[in-house]
Amino acid sequence: MDEHLKVKESNDRFYEALSAQNLAEMEAVWMHEPWIKCVHPGWDILVGWEKVRESWDNIFRNTEYLKISITNLSIQIEKDVAWVVCTENIASAREADYQTATAQATNIYYKVNDQWFLVHHHASPATVNAPLEASESIQ
């Protein structure tokens, strides 16, 4: 199987676990090491599997509905490291409060025994404004 396809499948499994709020599946996607990292939108960086796992558990326990669809997917691979950049289109609900959001995400995977594991997830809120045009002046 093509390595890009394997990375895409690992990335799909991550977002399926997230949308299903399935902690067991989330555990299967991540590498369980003290050096892995995760940055949720608006959060400080989390370092180590235990803190990352605890964050997902907390998110899942406090979210009634979560659906994420991915657009603008880009996959790059260099030896045993792959990085995926994408747009997360998020719909969520908690206590009858329905919200939608868009985030830009980077997911880094590390290959062990022919399997790709997530070692870094960073999602930041996406801007909704169109890009500014280049200008000769600051004003």
In sequence order, what E strands does 1-139 have? 37-39, 46-47, 65-78, 81-94, 97-112, 115-125
**pLDDT score for 131:** 52
Could you read off the pLDDT of 62-92 as tens digits, one per residue?
A: 999 999 999 999 999 999 999 999 999 999 9
The pTM of this model reads 0.89
**pLDDT score for 52:** 99
Decide yes or no: CATH 3.10.450.50 for domain 3-125: yes
Identify the CA nearest to 104 among candidates 126, 75, 83.
126
The domain spans of the chain are 3-125
Residue ranges in the chain whose pLDDT is less than 70:
128-139
Q: How far apart are CA 86 and CA 15, in angstroms?
A: 11
Q: How far apart are CA 97 and CA 64, in angstroms?
A: 10
